Chains A and B, each alone.
Chain A
Amino acid sequence: MHDVIVFRFLWAAAIIAAGIILFNLANRWILSRAGRQPVLAGLARAGIPTLLYFTTPTCAPCKTIQRPAIDRLKELAGDRLQVVEIDAASQPEIARQWGVLSVPTTFILDAQGHPRHVNHGVTPVDKLLKEFEEFGDFSI
């Protein structure tokens, strides 16, 4: 009986792990698809990591949580990164090209403009900093 439960538990763990891997693969696919979009030309300066922030005027959590987190990130990192904000409502084509389905969505781009992370939903400042730290010195 005990062995059966352990066996089924391992199966459950494997299925959940497969789901998480699938979710991460989907995120990677979104990143690789986004990386092929030349839409940042003219919006971002070259040579600096970028936070690409998709929002809309009616998005409540963008105003109350995500915006303060990004302001805090800018305070902490100063000139070491730039923030490019895109209104997904007025520029739906760009949002579509980047695979944005909801706001807030944030993309972390390295200094060469390659997307390295995507965050769906509100993302705290600590997580954003950690993602930037992977390819530069953002120690505070």
Chain B
Amino acid sequence: MNATLKNIDHSALQVSQIAIVVLNVLAFILNLPWLAGIVAVVMVLGTLLGVPGFGFIYRYGLKQLGWMRAHVLLDNPEPHRFAQGFGSVFMLAGTAALYLGAPGLGWALVWLVAALAALNAFAGFCVGCFVYYWLARLRVPGFTKNPPEDTFPGMRPTTSPAPGRK
């Protein structure tokens, strides 16, 4: 068992990803570049604070109301932070492109982030985490974690923490 794994609530990650998908699609349909900008800023803040950007919707809303339960799994937080940071760079670039008069490129980047967030939320595959683990495999400095045991790099792990483990 990898001793560095932490308890990660995947419900918070999933809600954040679904929020990104919904807001990005809404931004496109209603042609609201500022909404894409807000998504980008929230993702940047989440990356800096080490939490899922829209995880607050789960933590202070859905979980409190009892509409969702925690889904705690043993996982590495670093790849998720990297994935969110990676996504936020694309969102910032997309927003900048929208404001600089390149709507095709801007919306393409916004849709790319939405698609990758949807893949993570609904199919359990985190492309950013996959990239992180590949960089770790190539021994790129700063990328040190390996995927949890029995888990394909980037796929959602399946092991829950033992009772009482913090």
Contact = CB atoms under 8 A, between A and B. Distances in A.
Interface of A: 4-5, 8-9, 11-12, 15-16, 19, 23, 56, 58-62, 88-89, 101-104, 120-121
Count chain B CB atoms within 10 A of each CB in A58, A59, A103 and give the residue with the most. A58
A12 B28 contact: yes
Contacts of B3: none
Interface of B: 25, 28-31, 73, 111, 115, 118, 123-125, 149-152, 155-156, 158-160
B115 A19 contact: yes
Contacts of B149: 58, 89
A103 B158 contact: yes
Contacts of A19: 115, 118
B164 to A, nearest CB: 15
Contacts of B25: 12, 16
Contacts of A58: 149-150, 158-159
Nearest to A56: B150
B125 A89 contact: no
Given A8-B28, A12-B29, A19-B118, A61 B158 contact: yes
Contacts of A60: 73, 158-160
Nearest to A23: B123
Contacts, number: 51
Contacts of B159: 58-60
A56 B159 CA distance: 10
Contact of A120 (B111, B115, B124): B124
Given A12-B28, A59-B159, A60-B159, A102 B115 contact: no
B14 to A, nearest CB: 12
Contacts of B118: 19
A31 to B, nearest CB: 16
Nearest to B30: A5
9 contacts: A5-B31, A19-B115, A56-B158, A58-B149, A58-B150, A58-B159, A89-B150, A101-B155, A104-B158
A68 to B, nearest CB: 16
A56 B158 CA distance: 9
A88 B30 contact: no
A26 to B, nearest CB: 9
A5 B27 CA distance: 11
Nearest to A122: B158
A8 B29 contact: yes
Given A4-B31, A23-B123, A121-B124, A103 B160 contact: no
A9 B151 contact: no
B151 A102 contact: yes
